[in-house]
A and B are shown apart, each in its own frame.
Chain A
């Protein structure tokens, strides 16, 4: 994959379409030769951020759109998730107490636990999530997309 290659997906903000985003990322990661657990980590993190956008940012705007941008930089996979829904309020999120029987609140915890970086920013009336995961160096020698 070239450094300048950028994959952009635009999806209706509905749970129905989240498996498509996961499948696209999985196909890319697999071709880069990454281990299955890396593929799974990234799929879960992306799923959780997108589901949060659908459930919270677009709670009152069901016709919203999710834009997902994927590229490789500095041996990492970088995923942007952008939406035009309500702003995320980090202070409203409580970390789950591990081992206790919570019926929710694990989404962001999974994303943070499984990725090397999860960053949120509100910009130009949009929510911008950045997810980053370090990849093994093996793909640099394969360069399957060159």
Chain B
């Protein structure tokens, strides 16, 4: 799995590409962990190039999102393609995460109230 990140203002944007599964999830988790040091952590995970997610990937995102919210930040998702979106819909986690069509919109949504 390829992991790239950059900042849009105060918001960390992570772009993932490839399979996000039980094998690659620890890498993503380590990357997210480093970003939790921001106060408050404001993270967007762009899943546009992700071709496969499993339950471990989902658990990784849930865990990071809970940590962000405990620290009064958030982890938001952007650009879910249909197979990936289906997993979130099946578990109804599409209602728990804030999901945006693209990463810029997701990052900008942090700014007015929380920057």
Number of A-B contacts (CB under 8 A): 72
Whether the Cβ atoms of B21 and A106 lie closer than 8 Å is no
* 0 or 1 for each of B79-96: is its CB under 8 Å from A? (1 = yes): 000110011001111011
Whether the Cβ atoms of A103 and B90 lie closer than 8 Å is no
- Within 8 Å CB of B59, what residues of A? 102-104, 106
Nearest Cβ on chain B to A3's Cβ, whole angstroms: 30
- Knowing A98-B91, A99-B95, A101-B66, say if A19 contacts B55 (CB, 8 Å): no
* 0 or 1 for each of A19-57: is its CB under 8 Å from B? (1 = yes): 100100000000000001100100110011001001100
Nearest Cβ on chain B to A144's Cβ, whole angstroms: 24
Counting CB contacts under 8 A, is A85 at the interface? Answer: no
Counting CB contacts under 8 A, is A110 at the interface? Answer: yes
Nearest Cβ on chain A to B29's Cβ, whole angstroms: 11
- Closest B residue to A108 by beta carbon equals B55
Could you list 11 examples of A-B contacts with CB < 8 Å?
A: A37-B83, A37-B86, A40-B83, A44-B52, A47-B52, A98-B92, A102-B59, A106-B55, A106-B91, A107-B54, A110-B90
